[in-house]
Structure 1
Amino acid sequence: MANLSWIAIIVAAMAGFAVGGIWYGPLFGKAWMKERGFTEEELKQGNFALIYGAALAFSIVSAIFLGHLLAHFGEMSARSTMMISIGIALGFIVPAIGTNYLFSRGSVRLFAIDAGYWLLFYAAMGAIFVLLG
């Protein structure tokens, strides 16, 4: 891999993970549960170690690949780093989940909640790579 900052990768992954905690917690947690048809009791029955552990692992994978991509460009401006980071969400993640929601008949509201999360997830990781990368 290109010269990666492992500290930036870990902090970026944690930042993305933290965005999820805020986004699906106090900001849009109740709306997300309603759109998904979950009750609080049903969510409490989940395997939290598996769910949060896997979500953190996926965040680390995303941060590794974003960091790897950014490292190949060499020195970049903060604007370029943020454009690439957010561009990944806008160009790849949002259309992919949008396609899934179209075929699974997901609501526009649920799509907006999840798409907004991924935009902020990649923006947060990009900001960390600007600061620490």
Structure 2
Amino acid sequence: MDFLNFTAILVAAISALVVGFIWYNPKVFGTVWMKEANITDAQIKGGNMIKIFILAFIFAFLLAMTMMQMSIHQTGALSLIGGDATKALPSYDAFMDDYGDAFRTYKHGGLHGVLAGLFVALPIIGTNALFERKSAKYIFINAGYWTVTLGIMGAIICGWE
């Protein structure tokens, strides 16, 4: 069984940009986020958007790869045998026959994504924001974005076989 679904990973990476487009829209959280981040319209418009979106996509792709490991439990079994199923003992094949599709649902992946948002993204963003003297609004807007985004990414990665 192959867990590396590049199409799902690419779609999950693109989903991060789509969610960001909606989340940081001025009609949603964009205006409040700009105020809390001390960013002006001129600064936003003065950025190299091509570079920003390319790098944001690369980072989202890396996160999607990580969500594969976090949401598809069978990757743990594969890692235990060194990553090469062709060199595994027969017990690996028996295990995968029994449990190869266990918990491979959109719902399960979404759960793992939300947990990653709450237990990984929130503490990282919160710690950085505290030292940067940012507000609680800033923390919750950004952590909320990553919690929703990782939930969607996890759902795509885990459910799409």
* Structure 2 residues without counterparts, runs of 5 or longer: 75-99
What stretches of structure 1 of length at least 5 have no aligned partner?
none
Displacement of 1:78 in angstroms is 3.9
Describe the SS at the equivalent of 2:24: helix
Q: Distance in 2 between matches of 1:22 and 1:100?
A: 24
Partner amino acid for 1:122? L
Deviates further, 38-47 or 54-63:
38-47
- Quote the RMSD (CA, aligned, Å): 1.7
Q: Distance in 2 between matches of 1:18 and 1:129?
A: 16
| Cα deviations by residue, 1:16-71 (Å, 9 ceiling, x for unpaired) | 22101110113111111111122212211101111111001100111112123434
Distance in 1 (alpha carbons) for counterparts of 2:70 and 2:38? 37
- Per-residue displacement from partner, 1:81-123 (whole Å, max 9, x unpaired)? 2221211111111111111111221101111110110011101
Q: How many residues align?
A: 132
Q: Which has the larger radius of gyration?
A: 2
Query: Partners of 2:52 and 2:29 in 1: how far apart?
Result: 18
Higher normalized contact order (CA 8 Å, seq sep 6+, divided by chain length): 1
How much has 1:72 moved relative to structure 2? 4.2
**How high is the TM-score relative to the length of structure 2?**
0.74
Q: Tell me which protein shows more helix as a share of its residues.
A: 1
Name the TM-score, length of structure 1 as normaliser.
Answer: 0.89
